[in-house]
Every structure is written in C-alpha cells, then in structure tokens.
Amino acid sequence: MLDLAFIRSHPDVVKEAARLKYNDIDIDYLLEVDRKVTSLQREVEEARAQQNQISKQIAKVGKDKELREKLIAEGKQLAEQIKSMEPMLIALLEERQQLLYLVPNIPDPSAPIGKDENDNVPVKYWGKIPTFDFEPRDLYTIMQNLDMVDIERGVKVAGARSYILKNDAARLELALMNFAFDRVARKGYTPLIVPAMAREFCFIGNGQFPKGRDQVYAIENDDTFLVGTAEVSITGMFKDEILKVDDLPLRFVAFCPCFRREAGTYGKDTRGVFRIHQFNKVEQYIICRADHEESVLWHEALLANSEELVQALELPYRVVNVCTGDMGDGKVGMYDLECWLPSENRYRETHSCSYFHDWQARRANIRYRDEDGKVRFVHTLNNTAIASPRIMLPLLETHQQADGSVKIPAALRPYLGGQEYFRPHEIGAKV
RNA sequence: GGAGGGAUGGCAGAGUGGUCUAUUGCGGCUGUCUUGAAAACAGCUGGGUUAACAGCCCCAGGGGUUCGAAUCCCUUUCCCUCCGCCA
C-alpha cells in the first residue's frame, strides 16, 4: 500500500508505476472516491462536533426543563442527520481502502522494464554448467530409480500435484531444511517455526490478498487460510506494533510448510515435483528502518546468503534482475536465483529475493519510533533460503552419477549422518 | 465440546451513563540542584485523521440503545480458571 498523501500529490508517478507493472488500477477513479470521502467526512465531523457541544450543555443545564427538552430535540435531530450520512461514508471509506490495496509500489529505476519473465535481465552467473559422459536422467527418473517418490499414492491421498517423498528423498528434505536453517541462523538471523495457517489480516498485510486470493487454501468453518510462505505469518506477527529503533533490524530465518493452489497452471510443469501444492521452505525475512540505502543493503545481503547456500550445494546458478511486469505489485526490486537444470538445459527459479520499502508495513501497520521520536513505517524484505522439493531438481540432476546413484555435496553430509551417496535402499526399503 | 471470569494508554491499574469524555503509580524524556551521577523537586510523556487545529476518531473487533457509552444490550475474537477429549 502506498501513502494516500503521496498518491494525491504524485498521481502521475503512480500511474506510470502501474503501467510498468501491467496493473490496470484506475488512479483517477481512486482520487475521485477519495475526494468524496474527505468532503463527506468533513460534514459528518462538523455535525458530530455540534452534537458534542449540545451533549455538554445538556449535562450542565440542570433544572431548566424547557431548555433541556429543547436541547435534547436538537441533539436528536443531529443524531439522525449523522445516521443518515454514515452508511454512505462507510461505503466510500471501504471502497477507497479496497482500491488502495490494489495500487502497486513504485519499482526502483534500476529494475528492468518489461512484461514477463522473458524480459528479466541476468546479472550474474556462477559455477560451471555440468557435462555428463553418460545420458543424464531427469529428476523424475532419478527419483524413481532411487525409490524416492510415490506420485500415484500421493495423488490418491491428496489429489493432483501431490506426492509422497520416501526413503532418501524424505531424509534429504529434512536435511536441506536443517542445513539452510543452521547456516542462516549462524549469521545472526533468529530461527523461527511459524504457523502454516494464518488469519486474513496476515495475507492482506503481506500483499497476498485481495489479488492473490484464488491461490490460497481457505480453511472451512474457521477464519484462517494456509500460508504459501512464512512471509505471511511473519508479517502478521508484527501487525499494529510500534518497534524500538534499537531493536532493528529484525532478521529471521523461518521454517514453515507452504501451500499453494496453483490455480490456472493446469498443464504447466505437471511431471514430477516442480510445481506442487505443498512443500517445505526455509525463508529469510528482514524488518529494517525506513531507509532506501539500508533496504538495498539488506536486499544484497539476503541474496548473498542464498548464493552461499546454493554454492555450498555445488549448484551452478544465475541471478536475474526481475523486470517490472514480472515482479508483483508490492515490490520495489526483485532478484530471482535460478539453478541450472540439466534435464531442461536451462536455469529455473529456486529462490526469490524481494524488497518492499514500506508497502507491506503500511498494510500491516508495522512501525517503529526513530531516534527523533517520530513514528515511521518499517521496511520489509524477504528471500528464500531453501525450498524443497524444488531444490531437489537441480541437486539430484547435477550430482547424478553414471551408475544411477547421486553424490551428496560435502556441505550437506553432516545433516545426513555423513552419507556420501544416495543409492537405492541403502537406507529404507521398497514399498 | 461444557461452565465461569476477563480484555482500559510502554507496563501496572482506577473508572458501572454526562459535571476535566481516562484518576493514579511505575517506566521514559527534560529542567533545577551537583565536579559528575543518584536522590529530591518541577514539567512533559499514546496513536490516527486534517493544509492545520482549540475539531473529529481510537478504552480488543463489529453492531445496537441514548441527546450523550470505557460504562448498558447483542455479537465476534483472544486470554485466564475448572471439567471433558487429545498428540
């Protein structure tokens, strides 16, 4: 959410941002609604001020019955007048609020201008693209050979885009979570395990609602929804709080199961476990002072953290600067980290690193008192640390061996009891 | 799931229909005093709205009664105690 005062004074800047983000919000209409709100609000407030005056007089009047009756009649009339204006005012306020939720943030001038992921600009490449002296298998085949996954029974239990990780894949997922959790926590990020279900305000706060409502599972009979990322829960944690500037920045590394409906993706990435409804993720999240330079600094730091993780997993990757049309309404800037996927002979997204300035903070009303005692909205940022099974695609494909086994990167071995290779049923059994 | 009790400003805690539309204490800030600090004393000390304010709004959220609601009524949420169930 942007500052309404900013939209009023810079409508053209906001319109341009909406254009760059392919967002069809009608700013002129918003401003028209806003004008109606302020004029009606003034009328109501003036009537209320009068009413308050009369109430005070009534309290003081004492014995004079005649005067008392007269004042009560006046008060009654004002009460009715206010009552008649209020429904319209409430409706207008609500309409303005809903429109405000749809106004995108202003992208940073450094963000590439473009429509979709094809316009994202690679800014960094790391690692050597692997070559194989055998015919490399794709993830699904590797997992089948190692008896790591049961798609059919997953679908039987939970429907399309569901899966069951078994044997070494199940162990690998936990190891990956632990690996990322440990490594980021050691940098001073506070480890959290946050709720996977959250109330509506959390989703409005992080920007998932109202626009992305169709991507979220609602829990019947309860006012909660399943989160698609820990970011939702963490934003909700600090709703309506005023933080101390000395406590900033708050840095978190959070584990949480994630749920996504993936509505409208039928036929996309249907094979295997690339695009699924439920997965596990360790997320990085930062709340810092309202300062652009500081936001940018942390944005780079978050990216560097993820790069270190991926480097430790010995996975070639590239970083792309995400273009305006692909980055989402709330974001000022966004990097995607994409790992090389041998089976597709291209890079695919495994991490997403964003900064928001105060766009989320305004929605969730998260503020801090700065050194001068002034209350300001915080800045928020987040980035994936590791998401699985998505990361298994590059991991298992890149490190596969001619004999069908998979070599485990050294950095991950401590989390797998020192194991060096995944081989069929070395641990676990056929089901 | 059942029964009961609660929710007030950073914290504690008064206030059960209007006479200052939030008493007071703690904490915090400033000043006096002091070489400095402590103590003592004095003053200040929530958020929002608005171009701004002496205006208006906020006593968990929403609705109602009333000329007037922190206060009365309904409702939702959350917390606490007890019972039941339970990993």
**Is residue A363 within 8 Å of A206, Cβ to Cβ?**
yes
Give the model's pLDDT for residue A267.
65
The Cβ-side half-sphere exposure at A263, using a 13 Å CA radius, reads 9
φ/ψ (deg, to 5) at A230? -65, -20
Among candidate residues A74, A262, A308, A349, the one labeled active-site is A349
Taking the C-alpha atoms of residue A299 and residue A360, their distance in angstroms, rounded to an integer, is 15
Give the Cα separation of A296 and A315 in Å (integer): 26
Which is the catalytic residue, given A233, A352, A388, A405?
Answer: A352
Q: Determine what percent of chain A falls in helix, strand and coil, rounding each to the nearest 5.
A: 45, 20, 35
- Would you give per-residue pLDDT tens digits along chain A (431 residues)? 899 999 999 999 999 999 999 999 999 999 999 999 988 988 888 888 888 888 888 887 766 778 888 888 888 888 888 888 888 888 888 899 999 999 999 999 999 999 999 999 999 999 999 999 999 999 999 999 999 999 999 999 998 899 999 999 999 999 999 999 999 999 999 999 999 999 888 999 999 988 889 999 988 777 789 999 999 999 999 888 888 888 889 999 999 999 999 887 776 676 778 889 999 999 999 999 999 999 999 999 999 999 999 999 999 999 999 999 999 999 999 999 999 999 999 999 999 999 999 999 999 988 888 877 788 899 999 999 999 999 999 999 999 999 999 999 999 999 999 999 999 988 888 88
CA distance from start to end of chain A = 51
Phi-psi region of A22 (alpha: psi -120 to 50; beta: other; left: phi over 0): left
Query: Given this model, what pLDDT does residue A270 score?
Result: 67
Tokens at residue A263, please? 């509505």
Omega prior to A257 cis, within 30 of 0: no
Q: Is A35 a catalytic residue?
A: no
- Report the C-alpha dihedral over residues A326, A328, A333, A334, rounded to 10 degrees: -60
| DSSP per-residue letters across A358-408 | THHHHHHT-EEE-TTS-EEE-EEEEEEEEEETTTHHHHHHHTB-TTS-EEP
Confirm whether A161 is a catalytic residue. Answer: no
Phi and psi at A310, nearest 5°, equal -70, -35
CA distance A252 to A238: 13
**Which one of the listed residues A19, A275, A289, A376 is annotated catalytic?**
A275
User: Is the minimum distance from the CB of A365 to strand B below 7 Å?
Assistant: no
Q: Over the Cα atoms of chain A, what is R_g?
A: 27
What structural domains does chain A harbor? Answer: 4-102 (1.10.287.40), 117-422 (3.30.930.10)
CB-strand contact A67/B, under 7 Å: no
| CB of A348 closer than 8 Å to CB of A341 | yes
Taking the C-alpha atoms of residue A348 and residue A389, their distance in angstroms, rounded to an integer, is 13
How much is the ipTM here? 0.84
What letter would DSSP give residue A108?
P
Structural tokens at position A309: 């993780």
C-alpha to C-alpha distance for A431 and A416, rounded to whole angstroms: 22
- pLDDT at A112 (0 to 100): 97
A390 belongs to the catalytic site: yes
CA–CA distances in Å: residue A89 to residues A39, A50, A234, A286: 10, 18, 33, 37
- Chain A residues 110 to 169 whose Cβ lies within 7 Å of strand B are none
A162 is catalytic: no
CA distances for A20 relative to A110, A113, A327, angstroms: 13, 7, 10
- Report the relative pairing of strands A224-226 and A197-199 from DSSP bridges: antiparallel
CB-strand contact A85/B, under 7 Å:
no
- A39 beta carbon < 7 A from strand B? no
A425: its two tokens: 């049923």
Question: Is the C-beta atom of A47 closer than 7 angstroms to strand B?
Answer: no
How far apart (Å, rounded) are the C-alpha atoms in residues A48 and A217? Answer: 43
> Which distant-in-sequence residues (6+ apart) come within 8 Å of A24 by Cβ?
A18
CA proximity to A227, closest of A189, A253, A264, A200: A200
User: Distance in angstroms, CA of A87 to C1' of B62?
Assistant: 14
Query: Residues 369-408, chain A: which have Cβ under 7 A from strand B?
Result: 369, 373, 375
- What SS3 state is found at A331? coil
Considering the candidates A171, A343, A390, A405, report the single residue annotated as catalytic: A390
For residues A215 and A260, the answer to whether their CB atoms sit within 8 Å is yes
